Amino acid sequence: MNIRIAKVIDDYKIVINKGSNNGIQVGQRLLVYAIGEEINDPESGESLGQLEIVKGTGVVTHVQEYISTVESDRKSKSFRKIIRKPLLAFQLAGEEEIINPSETIPFDEPKVGDLVKGI
């Protein structure tokens, strides 16, 4: 089954050209990629295939008969930082906790016609 991007809604959301008629289901994870240059074995010169240039991963959020909506599911790393405040004559010592929640990372320049496959 040859799955491709049919429409780019924005950098976080795409529409693919397959739907429930093709077995696509809500919650299914997909890899979005483009085909790059052909790679040859450095010793034999034999073709090893074409490089897949990964543009992101996503999850199917809505399925129709012939199309499905896929949203990026890559997340940035979250971190937690504790800042210790020194004791000063006019202040109390203490700690301040800063939590930076993870954020969704957009697809990397998705284009109509880019390939998609299950992961």
- 79 vs 58: which has the higher pLDDT: 58
Examine the pLDDT at 26 and tell me if it is beyond 70: yes
Element (H, E) at 14: strand 13-16
Q: What is the pLDDT of residue 93?
A: 55
Instruction: Specify the DSSP class assigned to residue 65.
Output: S
Q: Give 33-43 pLDDT, tens digit per residue.
A: 999 999 999 99
Average the pLDDT over 54-73 and give the result. Answer: 98
Residues 6+ apart with CB under 8 A from 74: 56, 57, 104, 105
Query: Could you give the domains of the chain?
Result: 3-74+104-118 (2.40.10.410)
**pLDDT at 88 exceeding the cut of 70:** no
The model's pTM is: 0.79
